[in-house]
Structure 1
Amino acid sequence: MTSNDQLPASTVDLAPTPQESSPDKLALRRFLKNPAAVIGVVALVIIVLASALAPFISPYPPNEIDLTNTRQAPSGEHWLGTDSTGRDVFSRLLAGGQISLMVGFLAALMAVVIGTLAGVVAGWFGGIVDGIISRVIDIMLSVPPVLVIIVLAGIIGPSVPMLIIVIAGLAWPTPARIARGVVLSLREEEFVQAARALGSRTGFILFRHLVPGVLPPIVVSATLLVAESVLLESSLSFLGAGVQPPESSWGNMLNEAQSLTVLSSMPWLWVPAGLMIAVTVLSAMAIGDGVRDAIDPRKNS
């Protein structure tokens, strides 16, 4: 048998093998295999879109009062009934979603930005800087947020900007602690030491090497902070220290549920808002769990 007779067999070994998927693709594949996380994304997107399009899909202005139609049960005219002043519950539910979601997302975003920067600085510089920031984090984590916001609402008056700023100011220690822990491990890695040996500036090292390494766990923390912020805003609005009437939020819509009569015989006044809060919080938490599992380096498929 000549060498030419073996040529077709040898060419089989030269066939290109498919390349392994990138870490991002593997993470996305793991996320899509998580049914709870996918359902959470779909549910949250629907809620956000419905709230954003509220001015176009609401059948009535959310603050329009009709004293001849108070506490009417759901019907073809009012899909979710009317409240104690005759306002359409469905329209107020959509308008309330705008405020509740805005508070949740903006407060979480501010907390993540502040916390990430504080944690990265503490982890990188160490020493007295780390000591000061760590003590501030410990103090902030010991402060009861509901009590602080109620006191501030009594002093400066409740408002949406106050809620966003105070919730963010009380929530940033959680991402800060996460970022600090990640940076403490990353700063000893060879690529960071090499950047320092080459004379790279501190700002370049922080934003080019450390912040990207902090982002994966911070994204998980951000999704959980959205859930916590929405829940906190709803609780405060229910207590009267959050969004004030006539503006609508899911929390102050639940104010109607303080009456035993409403709880027992008029569920349309409080069940829709309660469901929106529950679905939003559960969806955000499911997404956070899905992202955490997807970026887990111990999972290889």
Structure 2
Amino acid sequence: MTVNYGLGMDLYVTKKAKLGQDPLREDADPELLWTKVKKSKTSIGAVIMDQSYFTGPGNIYRAEILFKAGVHPDIPGMALQRSNFDQIWQHTVTLLQRGYQTGSILTVDPEEARRLGKPKLRRYIYNTSHCPRCKSRIQVWDIAGRTCYACPTCQPKQTAIEDSKKPRGKRSTNKDCEPFNSHCARESVETRLDESGPERLTVKEIKTQLHHMGVRDVPTGRRKAALVKLLVEHRKAIKEHPSLKIITPAAMPTTSANAVIVSSEAAAAEKACSRLDRYIDSLQAYS
């Protein structure tokens, strides 16, 4: 790493001149940004991650901002309506400020999460199989080496775009999103179970779930597939017989036979989630 120092404000001015508008700065100029966007033939999905246009948003924010704005990522900048741009900028500012305040990428508005019946929902479509609003399959494709996400129903693509306004670059083929375990945007065990079943859980997480269901003698030395099958069977039994209750960790007696060792990373993640949950609760109380 090379560090330049002793160059006074010249270095700062030079670097800042190469950057676009920063949604976290009070002196951000959306009018200046709009004059650049409306001249661009590049897709808004690429522009929003171009730091010379928008300073800050990454791949997760791109997916969530465009979803909330109802704008398809493939629409070229010059084909955007001013109202579309205003929505994109508004959500960019709101979500990045929320991320700065919480230290987490939390894009779902608490009141809508409640309406959707998922009060702890944190993201709409990033790394998600189905849209939480309309249940359509989320589509993914590649833009500049990064996976782009969109709901074909909530983000309708313009059916007639003039040849001169088609986005630059070769576009990859759409396919249904198959969620993965993201290290950048971790999902709770409950979310992964609800969306994909036990297959997305780790072996430790599967064993923990079995312990919570009252399985005292979780078999050791078995392959993950066998544990997945066992968890599926127990979840099915509980669904068919609601009288069977899942034992919470607090209510479960701790013995050497059923003790679940939690890693320091998992404990830290749980603590962070707890802080974030309190923030969500405060937003809900305010709204």
More helix by share: 1
Relative contact order, higher structure (CA 8 A, sep 6+):
1
More strand by share: 2
Q: Which has the larger radius of gyration?
A: 1
Tell me if TM exceeds 0.5.
Answer: no
The TM-score normalised by the length of structure 1 is 0.25
